[in-house]
Amino acid sequence: MPKPQDTNNRTSTTWYATNPKAGFDYEILETLEAGVVLFGHEVKSIKTGKASIKGSYVKILDGEPFLIGAIIAPYQPANTPADYDPQRSRKLLLSKKQIATLVGTSQAHGLTLIPLKLYDKNGKIKLLVGIARGKKKYDKRETLKKKDIARARQRGIEE
């Protein structure tokens, strides 16, 4: 469910969807903010919390970035166009300079582009894209160990 937005302040941000496994499976090196090309009913659906970016990724096709695998459920299923695909590829809006940076870093260093958050900024739907490196199994275990230690300290059980 989206967190409530302050209607008086237009600069506040509202998170609609997050990718919780991204921080666990990947080491985030850098982030970029991108606009998303959407239909009107998709924007309404996102604002009601019917979007998911779990398991989705960003791919550069013909020099343009696309969000692939994100699910945006129909806003009103009865009024949705018959040919609507909830998992269609959605174009991301970035400057040419940002696209060149993404292409260069992802190809040269073998990095992955993953969506981190889908949110509202000044009335526009934005996507936070992370340039990430996949974690190895031992890195994931180390992350879990750190979380467990932090939880234990918070509870007051010092080991």
Secondary structure letter of residue 78 according to DSSP: T
Gap between the Cα atoms of 81 and 101, Å rounded: 37
Are 58 and 67 in contact by the 8 Å Cβ rule? The answer is: yes
pTM for this structure?
0.77
Residue 27 pairs in a beta bridge with 133
Report the pLDDT averaged over residues 141-159. 79
Gap between the Cα atoms of 83 and 26, Å rounded: 35
pLDDT tier for residue 145 given thresholds of 50, 70 and 90? confident
Provide the percentage of residues in the chain whose pLDDT is more than 70: 91
Rounded to a whole number of angstroms, the distance between the first and last alpha carbons of the chain is 37
Q: Per this entry, what is the length of the chain? A: 159
Residues 6+ apart with CB under 8 A from 114: 19, 22, 26, 56, 57, 58, 129, 130, 132
Instruction: Give residue 149's pLDDT.
Output: 86
Phi, psi of 36 (to 5 degrees): -125, 135
Are 113 and 58 in contact by the 8 Å Cβ rule? The answer is: yes
Q: What is the CA radius of gyration of the chain?
A: 18
Gap between the Cα atoms of 134 and 147, Å rounded: 19
Query: Does the pLDDT of residue 125 top 90, yes or no?
Result: yes
Instruction: Give residue 66's pLDDT.
Output: 95
Instruction: Give residue 137's pLDDT.
Output: 77
Query: Does the pLDDT of residue 154 top 80, yes or no?
Result: yes
pLDDT tier for residue 1 given thresholds of 50, 70 and 90? low
Selected from 3.40.50.2300, 3.65.10.10, 2.60.40.10, 2.40.280.10, the CATH number assigned to the domain covering 15-155 reads 2.40.280.10
Gap between the Cα atoms of 90 and 65, Å rounded: 9
Report the pLDDT averaged over residues 138-145. 81
Are 128 and 31 in contact by the 8 Å Cβ rule? The answer is: yes
